[in-house]
Structure 1
Amino acid sequence: MTSDAMPAQSDMKIRRLTLDDLDCLREIRAEAIQMYPQTFGSPEEDEGGDAMVAAYRHWLGDTVLGAFECGGLIGVAGFYVSRYKKSKHRGHIFSVYVRESDRGKGVGDRLIKDILARAEARVEQVHLAVGSTATAAIRTYERNGFEIYGTDPGVIRVGDATYDHYLMVRKFGP
Structure 2
Amino acid sequence: MEVKRLGAIDAEHYWNLRLEALQKNPEAFITTYDEAMQRQKPIETAAERLSDDSAFTYGAYDSQQLLGVVTFIPGKHKKFGHKGEIFAMYVSPAARGKGVGRALIQACIDQAKSSSIEQIQLSVVSTNKPAKLLYEAMGFEAYGLEKKAIKLGKEHYLDEDMMVLFLDEIS
TM (norm. structure 2) is 0.87
Amino acid at match of 2:144: G
Q: Which residue of 1 aligns with 2:68?
A: 75
Q: Provide the C-alpha distance between the structure 2 equivalents of 1:87 and 1:112, rounded to a whole number of angstroms.
A: 21
Match among 22, 33, 39 for residue 22 of structure 2: 33
Kindly state the Cα deviation for residue 50 of structure 1 after the two structures are TM-superposed: 2.7
- Map 1:30-69 to 2 at 5 A: 30-42=19-31, 46=35, 48-50=38-40, 56-57=46-47, 59-60=49-50, 61=52, 62-69=55-62
Q: Which residue of 2 aligns with 1:158?
A: 152
- Map 1:90-129 to 2 at 5 A: 90-122=83-115, 123-129=117-123
Kindly, what percent of the aligned residue pairs are identical? 33
Question: Is the contact between residue 26 and residue 32 of structure 2 (CA under 8 Å) also seen in structure 1?
Answer: no
Query: In the comparison of the two structures, how many residue pairs are matched?
Result: 163
TM (norm. structure 1) is 0.86
Q: Which residue of 2 aligns with 1:23?
A: 12
Deviations 1:18-57 (A, max 9, x none): 0111111111111111111111133897263238557634
Gaps of 5+ in 1: 1-11
Q: Which residue of 1 aligns with 2:137?
A: 143
Which structure is richer in relative contact order (CA contacts within 8 A, separation 6 or more)?
1
Match among 129, 148, 171 for residue 166 of structure 2: 171
Is the alpha carbon distance of 1:101 and 1:132 closer, same or farther for their aligned partners in structure 2, counting shifts above 3 Å? same
Q: Provide the C-alpha distance between the structure 2 equivalents of 1:85 and 1:53, rounded to a whole number of angstroms.
A: 32
Amino acid at match of 2:168: G
Deviations 1:99-158 (A, max 9, x none): 001111011011111210111132010000111011000011111110000011111111
Is the alpha carbon distance of 1:92 and 1:58 closer, same or farther for their aligned partners in structure 2, counting shifts above 3 Å? farther
Question: Is the contact between residue 45 and residue 52 of structure 1 (CA under 8 Å) also seen in structure 2?
Answer: no
Amino acid at match of 1:56: A
Deviations 1:55-77 (A, max 9, x none): 63454122100000121100001
Gaps of 5+ in 2: none
Amino acid at match of 1:50: Q
Q: Secondary structure at the residue paired with 2:85?
A: strand
Q: Provide the C-alpha distance between the structure 1 equivalents of 2:64 and 2:44, rounded to a whole number of angstroms.
A: 25
